[in-house]
Amino acid sequence: MPLTLADLTTVRARRPEAIAEAAARRVRRPLIGESGRLMIVAADHPARGALGVGDRPLAMANRADLLGRLCAALSRPGVDGVLATADILEDLLLLGALDGKIAVGSMNRGGLAGAAFEMDDRFTGHRAEDLARLRFDAGKLLLRVDLDDPGSLATLESAAHAVDAMAGHRLPLFVEPFLCRRTGGRVRTDLSAEAVVRSIAIASGLGGTSAYTWLKLPVTHDPDDMAEVLETSTLPVVLLGGDVGNDQEAAYARWRKALRLPTVQGLVVGRSLLYPAEGSVERAVDTAVGLLGEGGLR
């Protein structure tokens, strides 16, 4: 990185307009490149207070280390871009790491991890107008629905407004839907085939148009179910990597199989690539990119 963390702070303190200037001169590219596939690295977890990776509860807390890992990932062939909140995307802009890359802004981070209000995923991040103003390329929203929680109706309404706003700017929006419930004070995500099917159906119908809507979906508990699950919608899909724990090979096997399905366009993976259980960031990223090539052989 050409700038240190101290350099970034100095620029932010003395020339905050440098962020808008960097956004204005950033070299942009189409969402889908020559490969026909999409590989996005995700780093929007910290803004929801989710800093842990595996058994390291504060792994993502060191911003200089996180930025170094992101820059390493973005430098690898086949990596198309990054998904993050405003603070991280703006650091990467100042570092010059987003030229020729896809910049995806994270829109709702209000459901803080472990909070009593965790299911209330308020839109506290990028708005559609922010993404358009900064010439970013897409947005992402988290849509967690608890059928036993009346508050989920407000979440659905807010998500629908975001779909409409993004479509108004002709910006793609990655919707990440889950059916959840609170058990023992903790929010649990249901990754059964039936639950993922229902979440897809709900997310696909949000807003006045689905023209710019993509789905960001997990692989179900049984990856053999994914072909039937993805018959629920014609919307383009990227697979959510998630925290794979210590068994990276098993995760790669699940992704490899799902990437062969016709609506799947790529991967959005975060902690498992930026903080791999084994090996370097570069090695983990290159392995994931290789899976996209294999997945192209549908």
pLDDT digits (tens, 9 = 90+) for 97-120: 999 999 999 999 999 999 999 999
pLDDT of 1 over the 60 cut:
no
pLDDT at 135: 98
Q: Are 71 and 282 in contact (CB under 8 A)?
A: no
For domain 26-295, give the CATH number: 3.20.20.70
Report, as an integer, the average pLDDT of 133-140.
98
pLDDT over 70 for what percent of the chain? 96
Confidence of residue 185 (pLDDT cuts 50, 70, 90): confident
Q: Are 223 and 258 in contact (CB under 8 A)?
A: yes
Average pLDDT, the chain: 93
pLDDT at 296: 47
pTM: 0.94
Report, as an integer, the average pLDDT of 52-69.
93
pLDDT at 295: 56
pLDDT tens column, 167-184? 999 999 999 999 999 998
pLDDT of 297 over the 50 cut:
no
pLDDT of 245 over the 90 cut:
no
Pairwise pLDDT comparison (259 vs 253), residue with the higher score: 259
Report, as an integer, the average pLDDT of 244-258.
79
pLDDT at 249: 79
Confidence of residue 298 (pLDDT cuts 50, 70, 90): very low
pLDDT at 246: 61
pLDDT of 214 over the 80 cut:
yes
pLDDT of 130 over the 70 cut:
yes
pLDDT over 90 for what percent of the chain? 84
Residues of 204-213 as b/e, b for ≥16 C-beta within 10 angstroms?
bebbeebebb
Residues 206, 210: Cα–Cα separation, whole Å: 7
Q: What's the gap between Cα 199 and its chain centre?
A: 17
pLDDT of 69 over the 80 cut:
yes
pLDDT at 2: 57
pLDDT of 122 over the 70 cut:
yes
**C-alpha distances out from residue 277 to 132, 137, 190, 196, 241, Å:** 37, 31, 25, 27, 14
Report, as an integer, the average pLDDT of 151-169.
97
Out of 100-114, 252-266, 271-285, the most confident range is 100-114
